Structure formats: structure tokens, C-alpha cells
Structure 1
Amino acid sequence: MPSDIYITEQLDRRGETRTDYLREKDALHDLAGRMLGTPEEVLPRFVELAMQITGGISAGLSLYEETPSPGVFRWCYLRGLLSSFEGALAPRNDSPCGVTLDEGRPVLASHPERYYGWIADAGIAVPEALLVPLHFSGSEPIGTLWIIAAEEGHFNAGHARAAAELAHFAGIAVRMLESQRQLKSALEQQEMLAREMGHRVNNLFTVAQSLVQLTARTSANKDEMAETLIGRFSALARAHALVRRTFGIQAEHCHELRDLLRTIVEPHENHVFPTGRFALNGPSLVLGERSLNGMALVFHELTTNAVKYGGLASDAGRVEIEWRESEEGLLEIVWTEIGGREIAETPELNGFGSKLLRDTITRQFGGTLEKSWARSGLTARITLPRKNLIH
């Protein structure tokens, strides 16, 4: 740690300016009141108060994020001269904020741009910076408060003490906001699961009815129909088990894309066709555990829609599924329904299932989905980054 950059010992040497304790007390009361009523306003107000009480020209929070390793600081709630850098990232192990976390106490830095190239490259001049770690109930530091002065020799021990007291409240506020975000996310996830379960149950009844009708038309007698139905319902159960949300529950593993597809389409096979109703063409492709779940959901939804509205709504319908890997690291999948009964008009698929299909492709996998309807059914083109399928 360069001694000409980090001059923390000078805080105690400088004469402390007259402390306005009433102002500090009012500031703490203000923050406490906002934490109870409007916690989302605490952090912006906290930064403003820290800058005002210490006489800085700019201030902000650098909140620590563990990924990507070894972590970064994200600049948040910036005020004053450097407010345009809101959302900027700084390296954990190559920044004054990182030194502050390592020290675990207030740190004073003089012209850190002389040592940190990324600060100089951003065109930032820092005559003097006071940095204070943010804690929550004795836990590991979660970030830092930093305040910039307009000139060297500005900050003293009184400024460091006041900033540290404010930082205690800021640490609590950060944790409160994070808890609120986690609770909101959990509630949204619970609502999504409930809607998805209802959607899948409705689809299951539709698919079961289709299987009974298909089996009745192609069976010679009731015994053959019963045997065939038992096999198809067992296959449907295996396909349904692939689409799960809880990874603590062990389900059937099917890490090869081709095996996954066979499991999902098997209940809908009609062996009147010499080669079956489904043509699967593509190279060997191994899926990760989490991507397996998402891909199962995608093809389960496509298959169900084909049974209800598209190419599999008639006995003559077939589906071709082709996939290939591009040189750009993309997996390209084409789902084509052919030979089914003619579709008079394009189905209006704007419900939860369509949203679930698109969200899985775009949000979970970062891919794209293009759909076009012909008279015999749907053609869907799915493009996914290959790297997002290995987890």
C-alpha cells in the first residue's frame, strides 16, 4: 500500500473543526425515520448528509458484489461532482475501496489516480478521498462510503467519526433493502409456480384426452387399447417429471438432448408411421442439470401446443426437430410441424403458456424465439448461446 497515497494517520494530526453535534443528531434522526417509513429513500439521503456534514464535493456508496471473482464494487447513489458515474464498476483488489475493506476502518487517500490507472483513465481527479467501511451487525463489510474533497488537507478525525456513525445506519439500510428485494422475488416466484402448476394441470388433461382418442382410433380391441394407454401414460409421467422446479428432488436424468426429446415426445408417438411421428436430427449435445429443466419445459410446451392447436392435432401430423451448433457458439433449433390438418387461421397464443415458453428461452437462456404458422402447423426457430446450456 503506497504511503504517499494512503495518509490515514494524518486524520488525527489535523486540527478538528468545530463539531456541530446537533446537526449530526438531526441527520441520524432523519435517517432513522426514513428507515421506518420509506427505507428506499435512506441511502440517497445518507449520501447527501455525509457529503454535507464533511464538506465534500462528491460522495457515493461502493457496494461489493462477489461475482465475477474476485469481486467488484458497484458505485451507487452518487451525489455531487461524480454523479455521472452512477453504476460504474471498480475492481475489488485494485481500488481504495478494497483497501478500506481490508483495513476495516476509515481510510484517507490522496490523489489515488496516481496509483490506480483506471481512475486516471476515467478522467477523475481526487485531491483527497475519505472512505469508510459499511457493516451490518458485525458481519463482513458489504461496501464503502466514499467522500471526495475539493482540496488536499480537508478531512480530519471529526469527519471520519461522523461518516462512520452515518455508515452504521447505511449498512442496516442496505440489508433492509436487500431483504425486501429477496422477499419480493420469493413472492413473485411463488405466484409464478402457482400459475405454472395450474397451466400444466390444464395441459395434462388436454394431452390425456388426445392420447385416449389417438389410442382408440389405432387399437384393434379394448385389451390392446388398455395396454397401449398404460404405456403412453407412463411415458407422459416420465416426460412430466423432467419439468420440475425443485432441484433438491431427484428426478430422472436425461442429459443428452436427443434422449430428452425422445422422453417428451414418446407419449405422442403413433407407430402407424414406419419411422414414427417425430424426426430428430442433430449432433450429440450434453445439457447441464439446470438447463435440462428449462429445455424440458420448452419442448413440453411446444409438444402440448402442437397437440392442442397444431400439427399433432390429427393422426397424420408429424414433427421434425433439427439442431446444430454454429461457429459463433450458438445452438440453433428448428421445430417444424408438417402433414397435420389444415389450420384455418393462426391460433391466438397469448396466454401464460406462450409467455412461459418465451421467458424461458429469452430470460433463462438468453436466446431468441421466432414463430411462424403454416397451414399444417407451427415452425419455431430457437437460438441459444451454447455456453448457457452447460449448467
Structure 2
Amino acid sequence: MREHSRGDDSPVVASSAPHATVSETLGGPASRDFLETSPVAGYLTDEAGIIIYYNQLAADIWGGRPRLREVRFCGSLQLRTPDGRLLPHADSPVATALREKRAVRNYRVLVERPDGSLLPIRVFATPIFNARGDLSGGVNMLIEEPDDPPADEITQRMRAIIESSDDAILAKDLNGIITDWNRGAEQLFGYTRKEAVGRSVTMLIPPDRADEEPSILARLRLGEKIDHYETVRQRKDGTLVDISLSVSPIRNRAGHVIGASKIARDITERRRAEEQQQLLIQEMNHRVKNLFTVASSLVSLSARTTKTSAELAAVLRERLGALSQAHMLTVPAASAEPDRLAHATTLHSLLKTVLAPYDQGGAHATVRGPDIVLTGRSLTSFALLLHEFATNAAKYGALSTEQGGVEIMCDSGDEMFTLTWTERGGPPVERTSDGEGFGTILARATIGSQLGGEIRREWKPDGLVIRLTAARDRL
């Protein structure tokens, strides 16, 4: 047993006994002098756990100097257990020593400092009682674990990689409580590290996917790894985001699973690209089928007006060439020039090109009304729509017969431009609605999203009438 001096020169017992006894002068000059000259980090608290004094070695371990009588139980940013789980200050060794009035010694913890580093220490917390036997405070001595430079270097390197990653990386315990949260997670989900750590990971899971987390936790407890699991998560603002999730178990030194690390990658753009790819594949399929059907219709139409095979070949060659030119107008030009969409033409010229394969004599199509200039995206959009109208007319409508024809009327107002496509003289009209074919869906999407207008079809007994409107400022 050793004796140290108290402020009133009475002996203070420090031994292997469960507690020590001091007078009400806890925190007096003698106690401070003892801590200042001690080769070990230490601090004093009152009976409620409020820190009333600490030495420089304790401040060095914490990585800062907390204000006296304002911090409770510990001056660190936060504590962790050796396996990395958060240890609330209210459950720290000194809090336990004061609450249970017993010494808590040789307890291993990790001190997290403001720079993000983790310092392993051993804690020796002892309650202090006055001469009457009442609890008057506590003393906590902190001893750093022996340094392991290679391990510390690896830890710092891994922390730097995690913090600089654009992917969201987080960790949770086996109860689903978030223990780590990097900058990528802040950017993806909208919660700061302070807001996220200590909360359940279910805050990220939409209500309709609430059954996912129990299943994931069950697999983790078995030590399973989950790779590239695609799902949906919810941001702080309530919006949903498509993510690819990889989950790996975290094990302690004994090999037991104590939690999980998660890497979440935003795949919204990839999903959009896949949807766009599918749309393009459908469009290509639609166009190829259209071209075969239209080509067949051109052969039949040309055969009715020619008498020799040579004449048929010449007429058909000319019409197929015109069809090729019209088709090319529906494909945006690829160019390295930044102003590659600046190419312009007039609506009447566009109509003439699109209708050329079916109206080489000029008797099957008429265009009336004011002409307008089309540029950039509006040119491609109009070319796509008019090409669709013409090919459908050639397959099923007025342009599929020698007697049929199309009249196009243009009308330009201050805010909206209107094009009315009227077919006459074709086969009897039996259809009464647009249906939901790819051409109809594509036309609706084009006119609505790109031209700011709408498209309507009216199936009259003597032929189809299409009314297309577009915003003038989109042209």
C-alpha cells in the first residue's frame, strides 16, 4: 500500500481496495500538483461526473482542452470499444465507477480525437469518498497502449481512403445502429456524420422495403457477404435514390461478427442509361420494320404506274433514294463542333423531303400556310414525327393508294404553331383510336417533352386527321 498527500495533509489511500477515501477538498492544490507531476494522464470529477481538473497528458490523449465544469465523464470527442463500436460517455468506465461506487480498472477503450485518429488506452477509474463515506468524486488515470506504427499507419491510410471516396461508406453494429459515416455518405444521403452516427440505418430504408434490413442482418450474423445488391434508399429530403449495395461483416480479433460495413453507389445515371438504351433498341426495331413495310408498299405503288421492268426499277430506285434522305433527317448529325445542333431548314422543305418517296408527281401531297425555320432539336423532332406520319400513311392510309393524298395546313400564332395533317382518298378507315404502339408513344414523348405541345388524332370515315401543336419558343 502507498500513501499520497491530500490537501489537508491527511493520508489518501490508493490500493487494490474497491475505492479510496478523501476529504471534501477534492480538486484542491495537492490533487492538482499530484496530477501535474504524475507521469500518467489523469483527471478528477465531482460526484456527478463533471470534470473539475485534468493534466496536460490527458489533454494530449484527448487531442483538445475541454472547459472545466462543462464536460461530463470524459474529455474526448467520443469513445469506442476495442472492436470499434461507439461507447457513450455515460457508459464509460468512470461513469460506471461513480454509478456503481466501485473501481473499474484496466479497461481497454479507443479514444477518438478531433483529427479522426483512434488512440488505444487502458483506463483505471476509481470513485472517491469523503471522511463520512459519501461519494465526492472520482479519479481516472489513462495509460496509452504500446504503439504499433505499422498498424497505425495502415489504419490512417485506410481512413484517408474511406473519407476521400465518392462512394457512400458506412458501418453499423448488429442492431443496425450506424457507427461510421464518410463524406460520400453525407453527399449521397444528405445526413451529416453527426446526424447519422448513433441512429438506426432503417432511417435510409423506404417503408415499402422495411423487410430488407432484418434479412441483411440475419445474413451478416452468419458471416455472409452481400455483393452488388441493387435496391432503393431514401435521402434526408425524402427523395429516393437507386443504389448498388455491398455489405461485408466486421469481425473482432476473436473472429466474431460484431457489425457490418456498407458501400453504397448511386446507380441512378446507369439506370437512366439502361432505360434510354432500351428505348433506342425499340426505336431501331420499329424503324427497321417500318422500312421493310414501306419498301414493300413503294414496290406495289410503283408497279401500278409503270409498264416495264426498267421503268419500275428506275422509279423504285428514285423513291428509295428519297426515302433514305427522309430517314436520315430523323438522325441527329454527329459532330465534334460544339454548335452541332445549329443546322437549320424550313418546315416546308422538310415536308417536301419526307413526302418525296410517295409524291414524286406532286399530286398526292399539298402544303399550305406560313413556313417556319426549324433548328437544332426541333428539326430532329419534326423530322421524326413527320417521317412517322408519312410511313404510316404509306402503309395503311391515303398514301398507300394511287388515288389518295395528304393535305398539310400550317398556322402560326404568337405562342403556338399548329400543323394539321389531313388524309383523303385512302382505304376505308376502321380504326377509332391511337392505340399504344411504339410510334404513338414515341410521338407523344417527342411533342410533349421536346416541343412543349400536344398531338391529337381523329379517325374520320374519309381519312385520318392529325393536329400537332408546338410552342413557338421551342422551334
Which band: TM-score by shorter chain? Answer: 0.5 to 0.7
1:267 aligns with 2:357: yes
2:322 maps to what in 1? 235
Give 1:26 shift: 5.8
Query: Distance between the aligned counterparts of 2:434 and 2:372, measured in 1?
Result: 33
Query: Distance between the aligned counterparts of 1:40 and 1:382, measured in 2?
Result: 47
Greater fraction of residues in helix: 1
Query: Distance between the aligned counterparts of 1:304 and 1:229, measured in 2?
Result: 16
- How far does the alpha carbon of each residue in 1:336-370 deviate from its partner, in whole angstroms, 9 at most, with x for none? 11122222343664211211111111122222111
Aligned-pair identity in percent equals 35
- In angstroms, what is the RMSD of aligned CA positions? 4.0
Q: Is the 8 A contact 2:434 2:440 kept in 1?
A: no
1:181 aligns with 2:268: yes
Which amino acid is the alignment partner of residue 263 of structure 1? T
Query: Distance between the aligned counterparts of 2:433 and 2:424, measured in 1?
Result: 16
> Alignment partner of 1:230: what SS?
helix
2:130 maps to what in 1? none
Give 1:307 shift: 1.6
Q: Is the 8 A contact 1:254 1:260 kept in 2?
A: no
Which amino acid is the alignment partner of residue 302 of structure 1? F
Query: Distance between the aligned counterparts of 2:433 and 2:426, measured in 1?
Result: 15
Q: Is the 8 A contact 1:311 1:376 kept in 2?
A: no
Query: Distance between the aligned counterparts of 2:275 and 2:430, measured in 1?
Result: 38
Q: Which structure is larger by alpha-carbon Rg, 1 or 2?
A: 2
Q: Is the 8 A contact 1:330 1:384 kept in 2?
A: yes
Query: Distance between the aligned counterparts of 1:213 and 1:269, measured in 2?
Result: 14
Query: Distance between the aligned counterparts of 2:455 and 2:400, measured in 1?
Result: 22
Q: Which aligned pairs between 1:213-292 and structure 2 lie closer than 5 A?
A: 213-245=300-332, 247-248=334-335, 255-269=345-359, 271=361, 275-292=362-379
Alignment coverage as a number of residue pairs: 257
Give 1:280 shift: 1.0
2:474 maps to what in 1? 388
Structure 1 gap segments, 5+ residues each: 1-11, 55-75, 87-171
Distance 1:379 1:13, change over 3 A: farther
Distance 1:44 1:225, change over 3 A: closer
Query: Distance between the aligned counterparts of 2:274 and 2:367, measured in 1?
Result: 39
2:416 maps to what in 1? 330
Q: Is the 8 A contact 2:381 2:450 kept in 1?
A: yes
Q: Which aligned pairs between 1:207-218 and structure 2 lie closer than 5 A?
A: 207-218=294-305
Query: Distance between the aligned counterparts of 1:246 and 1:40, measured in 2?
Result: 38
Query: Distance between the aligned counterparts of 1:254 and 1:315, measured in 2?
Result: 33
1:150 maps to what in 2? none
2:283 maps to what in 1? 196
- Structure 2 length normalisation: TM-score? 0.47
Q: Is the 8 A contact 2:364 2:405 kept in 1?
A: yes
Query: Distance between the aligned counterparts of 2:369 and 2:299, measured in 1?
Result: 31
Q: Which aligned pairs between 1:97-108 and structure 2 lie closer than 5 A?
A: none
Q: Is the deviation greater in 303-312 or in 261-270?
A: 303-312
1:47 maps to what in 2? 191
Give 1:50 shift: 3.2
1:296 aligns with 2:383: yes
Query: Distance between the aligned counterparts of 1:51 and 1:231, measured in 2?
Result: 70
Q: Is the 8 A contact 1:343 1:376 kept in 2?
A: yes
- Structure 1 length normalisation: TM-score? 0.56
Q: Which aligned pairs between 1:311-322 and structure 2 lie closer than 5 A?
A: 311-322=398-409
Aligned counterpart for 1:368 among listed residues 444, 454, 458 = 454
1:32 aligns with 2:170: yes
> Alignment partner of 2:373: what SS?
coil
- How far does the alpha carbon of each residue in 1:108-161 deviate from its partner, in whole angstroms, 9 at most, with x for none? xxxxxxxxxxxxxxxxxxxxxxxxxxxxxxxxxxxxxxxxxxxxxxxxxxxxxx
> Alignment partner of 2:407: what SS?
strand
Q: Is the 8 A contact 2:398 2:404 kept in 1?
A: yes
Q: Is the 8 A contact 1:31 1:42 kept in 2?
A: no
Greater fraction of residues in strand: 2
1:21 aligns with 2:165: no
1:125 maps to what in 2? none
Which amino acid is the alignment partner of residue 243 of structure 1? T
Give 1:232 shift: 0.6
Structure possessing the higher relative contact order (Cα contacts under 8 Å, 6 or more residues apart): 1
Q: Which aligned pairs between 1:54-65 and structure 2 lie closer than 5 A?
A: none
